């Protein structure tokens, strides 16, 4: 089922998400719906807060970046109860966008190496290191679990320059091809 994307300014995007238990009702269907919603919305990742749920889940398919970073080939994962343990390496800029902030793309600095613990859809625990574009995609989606959106990483000047556009997005003045939930 296609789920609506919650848009910038909605309070659900600013809350810190909670871990879930293996007994979480409907987890398999939720993951299926998240994958479908992400693909139909032309995203490379989708976090549970973006669909109105403050739980620590996100899904990623980095294959659209395969040409830029061959490590993204077949990089498709669900991250449940994700917690970044370490960020290291160089700060690297990359132009990011977000389904919850349609039409805005800005350069964001992020570390190029992370270590993360998470459970997969079969509830198997993993502790892994990721580098490059994979680390960037994970950090972007992970931020949503902590109530952070990519524009929070921008300079004060850039935020002021974007304020009008962000206010328009919160007011529903934008074009998109997917269903949305606007802030009240």
- Sorted by sequence, the CB contacts under 8 Å of residue 11 that are 6+ apart come out as 183
Choose among 151, 148, 144, 153: nearest CA to 166.
Answer: 151
> Per the domain annotation, does 184 fall within a domain?
no
* Rounded distance between C-alpha atoms, residue 114 and residue 130, angstroms: 5
Domain membership of residue 94 as a residue range:
5-176
Given the residues 18, 40, 96, 141, the one annotated as active site? 141
> Per the domain annotation, does 182 fall within a domain?
no
Cα 20–chain centre separation: 18
* Rounded distance between C-alpha atoms, residue 59 and residue 61, angstroms: 7
> Per the domain annotation, does 33 fall within a domain?
yes
CATH number at residue 161: 3.90.45.10
> Per the domain annotation, does 183 fall within a domain?
no
Q: Is 140 assigned a ligand-binding role in the annotation? A: yes
Each residue's pLDDT, cut to its tens digit, for the chain (184 residues) gives 999 999 999 999 999 999 999 999 999 999 999 999 999 999 999 999 999 999 999 999 999 999 999 999 999 999 999 999 999 999 999 999 999 999 999 999 999 999 999 999 999 999 999 999 999 999 999 999 999 999 999 999 999 999 999 999 999 999 999 999 999 8
106 is catalytic: no
Q: Does residue 37 contact residue 177 with C-beta atoms inside 8 Å? A: no
The number of domains in the chain is 1
> Per the domain annotation, does 40 fall within a domain?
yes
Q: Is 153 assigned a ligand-binding role in the annotation? A: no
């Amino acid at each position: 089922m296609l789920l609506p994307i919650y848009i910038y300014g909605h309070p659900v995007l600013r809350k810190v998400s909670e871990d879930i238990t293996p007994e979480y009702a409907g987890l398999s269907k939720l993951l299926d719906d998240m994958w479908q919603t992400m693909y139909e919305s032309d995203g490379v990742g989708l976090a549970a807060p973006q669909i109105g749920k403050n739980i620590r889940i996100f899904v990623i398919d980095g294959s659209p970046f395969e040409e830029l970073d061959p490590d993204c080939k077949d990089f498709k994962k669900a991250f449940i109860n994700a917690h970044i343990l370490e960020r290291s390496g160089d700060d690297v800029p990359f132009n990011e966008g977000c389904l919850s902030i349609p039409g805005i793309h800005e350069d964001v600095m992020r570390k190029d190496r992370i270590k993360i613990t998470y459970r997969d859809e079969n509830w198997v625990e993993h502790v892994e290191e990721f580098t490059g574009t994979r680390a960037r995609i994970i950090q972007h989606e992970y931020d949503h679990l902590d109530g952070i959106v990519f524009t929070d990483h921008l300079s004060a000047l850039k935020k002021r320059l974007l304020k009008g556009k962000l206010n328009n997005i919160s007011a529903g003045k934008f074009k998109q091809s997917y269903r949305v939930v606007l802030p009240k």
